[in-house]
Amino acid sequence: MFKRNKNIFVAGHRGMVGTAILNLLKKKNHNVITANRSKLDLTNQNAVLKFIKNNQIDQIYIAAAKVGGIYANNKYPAQFIYENLMIECNLIHSAFLSGIKKILFIGSSCIYPKFSKQPIKEDYLLSGYLEPTNEPYAIAKIAGLKMCESYNRQYAITKNLDYRSIMPCNLYGAGDNYDNLNSHVIPALIKKFHLAKISKKSKVIVWGSGKVKREFLDVRDLARAAYFIMNLRKKVYIKNTSSMCGHINVGSGKELTIKSLAKMIKKITKFSGKIIFDHKKPDGTKRKLLNTKLIRSLGWAPEISLETGLKEAYIDFMNNDDSF
């Protein structure tokens, strides 16, 4: 009997993460299904259910999300919590109603407590208060991974469900968002230094003290991790997670200060002026390094260094006419 290839739906394929996953799946010759926002509103429950049922989908990568930096999270908390909750609820529940057994939910390291022990282990989740500047987004992401856990707990045996989650550190790379107000730290700095260079400015102002530390991962490495975890044998995944802690951290394992990051980007963009840190602007969490021993023990490791990734991200920025 002829067995068709799996149909894989990448939700959020136009975003940075979704694009990276889409490209990887295509390289591996999978049947990939996508839907533009104009054709499918992921916050519309009926539309999502109809789409999934009509497309014979076997697996879903949930990369769709409303994302942004500190400013955007503070400015639009209602949109961040509502849209992200609706997207993940509609996708996960519609997948369940349609008989889809395999999902990978992609979260964010902001799910962990603001003052979490470092490096952050998976089971530190819900052990303390969240960072206030992105609490609505973090709560939505926690709800997504807990939905996957809950559906597994109730239906893993009777329905053979296998819903998985990964929590990446700060991501960057091709297709990043360079909006002046809604971008994350790396694209914001790349754009600032580049524009300062071509405008021949004497200084670049960076938000915060520059002392906080962050961990960064090239989005292509995240795509590899997503594919790796999605295709890990079920017995192995179950053995290395638990019913109440079913997610796996993904990160580079290396951290640096925002000051050091700014200096790297200054060098890459060849800006010759000074860097001024605006201490009146919020820093966010002081440190956020993920413990990635679990995924590394399973066989995955990042391949792209921060310096290499930043150089390629800058080239991608300059090749994108819509970025500036």
At residue 5, the pLDDT reads 73
Retrieve residue 153's tokens: 């707990």
CA distance 107 to 98: 23
Helices 77-97 & 45-54 angle (0-180, nearest 10): 40
Sequence-ordered strand ranges (E) for the chain: 7-11, 31-33, 59-62, 102-106, 162-168, 170-172, 203-207, 213-218, 247-250, 255-257, 274-278
Per the residue annotation, which of 124, 137, 172, 178 is the catalytic one? 137
Provide the whole-model pTM.
Answer: 0.94
pLDDT recorded at residue 31:
96
| pLDDT block averages, 10 residues each, the chain of length 324 | 72 97 97 96 98 96 90 90 98 98 96 94 97 94 98 97 97 91 87 96 95 96 98 98 98 97 98 96 85 98 98 95 49
Active site residue 61: no
Give the CATH number of domain 7-319; options: 3.40.50.1100, 3.40.50.300, 3.40.50.720, 3.50.50.60.
3.40.50.720
